[in-house]
Structure 1
Amino acid sequence: MLRTLRCNKGLNGVSSRTLLHSRPSMRFMHKKDDGGSSDACAQPDATATTLTDKYEWQRLVSTTKTPEGFKATWLNALEEREKQLAQGKIIDSYVYNSVKSTEVSEKTRDESFSYLTLPFRDDPMVADFYVNAAGRMRMGQIFQDLDALAGRIAYRHTSPAEPVIVTASVDRIYLLKAIDFISDYNVILSGAVVWTGRSSMEISIKASAIKGDLPTEITEDKLADEDTFLTASFTFVARNPETHKSLAVNKLLPLNEKQWMDFRRAESHNAAKKLRASNESLDTNPPTEQESQIIHKMWSASRQLATLPNRPPNVMFMKDTNVKSTMFMQPQYRNRHSYMIFGGYLMRQTFELAYCAAASFSHSFPRFISLDSTTFRAPVPVGSILHMDASVVYTEHLHERSAKPKVASVTDKAIDGNTVFHFEPTPVNELNTHKEGFLSKPGTIIQVKVDTVVQELASEKQTKSGSFIYSFFATRDSDDKNVGTPGYATVVPETYSEMIEYISGRRRAIDTAMYAKSIKRSSKL
């Protein structure tokens, strides 16, 4: 069934990707968008985003060629690269044959504000693209859209200049509350630039779940805080596609007290990010006395677990939680510059692998909690091989004291087949554990680390692209008959390096707890 893609004011719906596949109707919009612009800020950022069907149809099927004289296909990209290499040039983007730059000016937050609507309640076909096996929201799809929206916001802020903009880091994606049945809600993803440096931008995005109809007019001020269920923060940097050096971006001009507070908060966050990364690193900060005691407990627990004739189903060695995936990077998932893979696609793939690790480990449908700060250390070129390696590196038990019949100590006999190995007396993570929160039930927080390595065919060298840290929550008692009920799941490190990974995960969990508290404080202001 071929559906139409509705997008941008004043633009009629157009048939979506006739030759490839169709996708349900969604809207991807920003303020003062006439729908006819062909500059960078009006284009999507990958071939698998909500605006892509329209854009792909326009650039591949339309008889109108670009000013450069070619259509934006991968074959054209290969031809353009050969032409540039023959001239001794190496370009980051074939979209721009000449760099379009302007004098740096000032832009307001409203000028970059953009939003994406996902009418799950109004259109079951849209919901079907975003639902997971448990009937909840498939977060990998949302992550891909978040990064695409953030890229769109970044290009609106830098317009009319057209630099190469890349995702430098994902500073945090955090779930405030769970959406159990996505068909009950219409969702709006919205955001804007909240801070700028010389060539960098911090972009804040939130996801709102609305039980009623979508608003006829969507602005930042009209989206209620109580509807927000997810927050995300991205850092983008601008580069000159020819010189590969940083390119200055327009300065952000806050106009009211809230915008100034967000600007200062982002400025403080950027300053604290490096310090926090240094404090969490065990390369420069060895284990504390308390952490050394935890390491000793883990060593003792691993020895006891190895001697058990029948290993408890809810306890696993860290090495046994490992899952891997290897993918060849095809041009269908390139970004708008066409030589590199879209960052949102990488987030989606790493999340799916992390979910596999957490689900296999907990024998359940785990819920996403957060994505910790992630830095993209190296780009992933089209035509390279991406290796992904995921392991459960940290676990902790919530509401354990209220569920003592299900708990046994290291030396106790297992009760109902559920043994819990205690490395520390209480959990360090104080997230949204209030009565209405999805973490109010007994269960396990599961932290999964996904390491990515890029292998280019031209050499044997493998480059680390980045590490993605996902946290999930698995309830102790599941109502779903299709999954198991392992009780409190526990990962047990054996080697010293694995124990260091566990301690690093614990430090990240403490940082997540502090972030959760800061959100609670700011929401009360």
Structure 2
Amino acid sequence: IDHQQAMAERASLSEHLAGSQSELPAKTMKDSEIEVHLPLGTQPSLREKYLNYHNTVRFGRILEDLDSLAVLICYSHTWNKELDRSPLSIVTALVDKIDMRKNIIYPDCDIKFTGHVTWVGKSSIEAKMHMTQFHDGAYSPVLDATFVMVARDPENKRAAFVNPLKLQGPEEEKIFQQGEINKKRRVDLSTASLLKVAPTAEERTIVHSLFLNTLDTKTVSFRSRILPPNSMWMEDAKMKGLEICHPQERNIFNRIFGGFLMRKAYELGWANACAFAGSRPILVAVDDILFQKPVEIGSLLLLSSQVCYTEGEHIQVRVHTEVLDPLTRQHSTTNVFHFTFLVEKAVPAVVPQSYGESMLYLDGKRHFNETMKSQ
């Protein structure tokens, strides 16, 4: 089979891996600078793949392109002219954030992606990308994205060293510092995660008042709960999906392509927000997508989406994906996605019933607040 043969060929590349980072030549940010054009305006034949029912561009497709571009940027950074093929497997570790600068992506105007490496660790690389679109005679910003990629050995079994980054001038030092700040912020958020640490005093008060709002004053019982007006139980604000992972969606290391997973999660999250609000949501931001585990070909991918927080006209959606091995019936989480959407009218509040749902609610609120800071 093609994909099995490809893996066998990749294994032989291991001998070209560096034993330490110091063996590798330092590269500059310029070395990985890339500009890619998506000629939706000048090549109408391309539009079919990118068009949605409302005659705008499918954002899920853009996620796939960003993922591919981030990989390409990292391969440019680690390129070794002595070798025909790179011994590195570069995979998406996480999407730090994607901030939308514009609500509409036109289906008949050319798109330009630019990006380069902005920070480097021993085996991880941060790449920043910008997407602009030609409209009314000029290119204007559509989104900014920050991805973190990791380099692994040819069989994707262990970490591999990447070229260090040589900074040229104060501007680049500032960009690199931002990469350090991003890394620290991720560590801090992970340390304070509600899966590890109890909520703050302020958050506990929020949860308690949500609980009090649902008590039936007539019975004064903790058991009978009543939904407050203009609200929906979190239990009723869910949507589920299933994908069978076919070889067509694989990357060069025989795993399912990260961009495909992002597109599927985004589409489910969008549908969830749409059904919840009863109107078309607009994406505001994608935040903190963590790729915890690769998804193998042939897996059953279960996706579950939950509206976990709302404020005014904003909807915060969390999509959790897990792989089910049908033979062992083992479930394992592969990704968690966070999306912030905006709709035209105020939306109902979502109300948690269980402690677990309350934690999802608080986590959604944290992500929403984090996103709003950068808007």
Q: Taking structure 2 as the reference length, what is the TM-score of the superposition?
A: 0.88
Counterpart in the other structure of 1:447: 316
Structure 1 residue aligned with 2:67: 147
Deviation, 1:278, is 1.9
Q: Extract structure 1 runs of 4+ deviating beyond 6 A.
A: none
* Per-residue CA distance 1:298-346 (angstroms, 9 max, x = gap): 22344469657xx97x632111111111111100000022x20000110
Instruction: Give, as a single letter, the amino acid of the residue that structure 1 aligns with 2:243.
Output: M
Q: Residue 96 of structure 2 aligns with which residue?
A: 171
Instruction: Give the Cα separation in 1 of the matches to 2:128 and 2:121.
Output: 15
The yes-or-no answer on 1:330 pairing with 2:199 is no
What is the aligned partner in structure 2 of residue 252 from structure 1? 165
CA apart distance, 1:208: 1.0
**More strand as a share of residues:** 2
Alignment partner, residue 208 of structure 1:
132
By how many angstroms is 1:141 displaced? 0.7
Structure showing greater Rg: 1
Counterpart position of 2:349? 490
1:403 aligned partner? none
* Residue correspondences, number: 358
Is the CA contact 2:130–2:145 (under 8 Å) kept in the aligned structure 1? Answer: yes
Q: 1:137 aligns with which of 43, 52, 57?
A: 57
Letter in 2 for 1:318: M
Q: Where in structure 2 are the equivalents of 1:323-402 lying within 5 Å?
A: 323-337=239-253, 339-397=254-312
Q: What's the offset of the Cα at 1:470?
A: 0.8
Preserved contact between residue 282 and residue 504 of structure 1 (Cα < 8 Å): yes
Give distance in 1, aligned partners of 2:102 and 2:317: 20
1-side partners of 2:25 and 2:135: how far apart?
40
CA contact (8 A) 2:231 2:350 kept: yes
Aligned to 2:374, what secondary structure does the other structure show?
A: helix
SS in 2 for 1:373: strand
2:232 counterpart residue number: 316
Deviates further, 257-266 or 377-386: 257-266
Which residue of the partner structure matches residue 267 of structure 1? 180
Partner in structure 2 of residue 499 of structure 1: 358
- 2:370 counterpart residue number: 511
Tell me, in whole angstroms, the C-alpha distance in 2 between the residues paired with 1:458 and 1:193: 41
CA shift for structure 1 position 386: 0.8
Counterpart for residue 26 of structure 2: 106
**Alignment partners' CA distance in 2, 1:153 and 1:168:** 14
Distance 1:126 1:256, change over 3 A: farther
1:460 alignment counterpart: 329
Residues 426-476 of structure 1 deviation map (CA, whole Å, 9 limit, x = unaligned) = xxxxxxxxxxxxxxxxxx111111111112345332211121111101111
Partners of 2:184 and 2:51 in 1: how far apart?
Answer: 38
1:77 Cα deviation after fit: 2.8
Instruction: State the secondary structure of the residue aligned to 2:116.
Output: strand
Q: Does 1:240 align with 2:160?
A: no
Contact 1:395/1:490 (8 A) holds in 2: yes
Aligned-pair distance for 1:213? 6.3
Letter in 2 for 1:336: I
The 1-side partners of 2:283 and 2:129 are apart by 17
Tell me which of 52, 60, 78 is aligned to 1:158: 78
Shift of 1:291: 2.2
**Which runs of 5 or more residues in structure 2 are unaligned?**
81-85, 217-223
Task: State the one-letter code of the partner of 1:298.
Answer: L
The CA deviation at 1:192 is: 0.7
Tell me the residue number matched to 2:2.
76
TM-score where L is the length of structure 1: 0.64
Identity of aligned residues (%): 30
Measure the CA separation in 2 of the matches of 1:374 and 1:394: 17
Contact 1:155–1:162 (8 Å) recurs in 2: no
SS at match of 1:251: coil
1:240 CA drift (Å): 1.5
Q: Offset at 1:505? A: 1.1
Distance (whole Å) between structure 2 residues aligned to residue 121 and residue 235 of structure 1: 31
Shift of 1:284: 4.2
Q: Summarize deviations over 1:466-504 as a string: whole Å, max 9, x none.
A: 21111101111xxxxxxxxxx433222222221221111
> Which whole-Å deviations, capped at 9, do the CAs of 1:153-208 have from their partners, x for residues lacking one?
1111111242111111111111122226443x422111111111111110001111
Q: 1:307 to 1:505 in 2, by over 3 A?
A: closer
Distance in 1, Cα, partners of 2:333 & 2:290: 11
